[in-house]
Every structure is written in C-alpha cells, then in structure tokens.
C-alpha cells in the first residue's frame, strides 16, 4: 500500500490498485469513484469501510490490505468509550492537526501517524518529530510494537 499527496488530495493506493481519495479542502472521501462521505458501511474493490457519526462529525475506519486506517477529520468531540471502541486497534492514523490533536493521538496509539493541514509541522514538532517531507510513503508489512512512525507528506 502506498500513501501520497497529489495537489492536496491524499491518495491511498491498495495492493489491488484501488485508490482512496481524501480531498482536504472539501473534507470528502472516495473509494475510486464511490463517494463515501455519509454514515454507512461500504465495500468496494476489496476495501471495507465503516463511517460513523459521533457528535455531528464523521469518522472513517478502513480495512485495506490487512491494515486498519482511521481518518479523524476534526477535534470537536469528547473522547468517550463509545468512540474509542469504534477506533479500535489502529495501524494508520490520518489526523487533522490542531492543539487538541495531540491528546486524541495519545489515546489512539496508532503505529503510523500522518497529520495533515497547514499546521502539521507544529503537531510533529510538539511530539518531538523533526522529519523531512516525503512525496509518498509505502506502508510496511511489519510495524514496531514499541514505536510510532510519523509521516510528513509534502
């Protein structure tokens, strides 16, 4: 699986070549040509997705190539047991950076974290991560159980 940013559209390409598109400006998600911006359960091209609405916000939980990917597009919610159980065990966390995002990240404990938005460098620096921007990131099959890997997509 490869993750890249093309013209402010985050793309996650599965091993079967299906693509999840996240339009940062519109906060819209698609699997190939299927709009998945509504609460529901979706399946397309081997990608499973559950979209839940909590506190008038949408949360996206994908299963792609045996990886659990979670999109958190807001910080305007309380971390309650109900939402944390929906988040589950997260391999890749794609999170909107704000001051509250660090607390959200600490409660999710993802193996790979990809912040987005113009303030993402502050999020990374707050967590002691001074990493260079990359144009794409290939997800490994094995993760470290002890460390979180941070990705700074250009």
pLDDT digits (tens, 9 = 90+) for 105-132: 889 889 999 998 877 888 888 888 889 9
Q: What does the angle CA 124 – CA 2 – CA 106 come to, to the nearest 5 degrees?
A: 30
Quote the CA–CA distance of 13 and 19 in Å, as a whole number.
Answer: 4
CA dihedral 28, 84, 48, 51 (to 10 degrees): -40
**Nearest to 114, CA basis, from 92, 136, 131:** 92
Q: What is the pLDDT of residue 145?
A: 67
Q: Helix (H, G, I), strand (E, B), or coil: what is residue 122?
A: helix
Please tell me which residue, 76 or 71, carries the higher pLDDT value: 71
Residues 96 and 127 sit within 8 Å (Cβ to Cβ):
no
Quote the CA–CA distance of 80 and 130 in Å, as a whole number.
Answer: 31
Residues 18 and 26 sit within 8 Å (Cβ to Cβ):
no
| Segment 60-79 mean pLDDT | 92
Quote the CA–CA distance of 102 and 96 in Å, as a whole number.
Answer: 10
Please tell me which residue, 144 or 86, carries the higher pLDDT value: 86
């Amino acid at each position: 699986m490869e993750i890249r940013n093309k013209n402010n559209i985050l793309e996650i390409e599965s091993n079967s070549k299906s693509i999840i598109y996240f339009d940062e400006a519109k906060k819209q998600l698609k699997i190939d040509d299927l709009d998945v911006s509504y609460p529901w359960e979706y399946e397309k091209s081997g990608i499973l997705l559950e979209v839940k609405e909590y506190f008038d916000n949408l949360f996206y939980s994908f299963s792609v190539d045996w990886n659990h990917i979670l999109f958190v597009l807001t910080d305007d919610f309380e971390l309650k047991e109900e939402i944390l159980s929906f988040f589950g065990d997260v391999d890749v966390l794609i999170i909107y950076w704000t001051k509250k995002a660090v607390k959200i990240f600490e409660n999710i404990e993802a193996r790979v974290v990809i912040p987005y938005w113009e303030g993402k460098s502050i999020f990374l620096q707050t967590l002691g991560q001074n990493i260079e921007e990359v144009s794409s990131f290939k997800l490994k099959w094995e993760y470290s159980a002890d460390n979180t890997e941070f990705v700074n997509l250009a």
